[in-house]
Homo-oligomer: A and B are copies of this chain.
């Protein structure tokens, strides 16, 4: 069965989409640590990110770099932190999170609860900074 991220990338499950190309898909994390928290996934279903071939692996990171720079403009912060953890969904994904302190990137903390309208606004703000 397709992973939840494949079903999101195909549009079967709706998402707050940020960007997409032939190989990669970026969308807002539905349980964000901070406003602007985005997930970037390869369309190819791979569990461990380090199992991607070198072209897709570096392509995924370059795609994430573009998204990170747009998040940084939309949500000014100390850093866009990036993290690949991968214990929850067996489909490789990069977290991009605008942070001010180390605590902001603690994945064990309680997640934000945002309305659909807020998520739409966040996605629009990030997309407006993508070239």
Contact = CB atoms under 8 A, between A and B. Distances in A.
B81 A85 contact: yes
Interface of A: 48-50, 54, 57-58, 61-62, 65, 68-69, 72, 78-87, 99, 101-103, 105-108
Nearest to A88: B102
10 contacts: A50-B72, A54-B62, A57-B61, A58-B62, A61-B61, A81-B83, A81-B86, A83-B105, A87-B101, A106-B106
Contact of A85 (B50, B72, B105): B105
A103 B99 contact: no
Contact of A102 (B82, B101, B107): B107
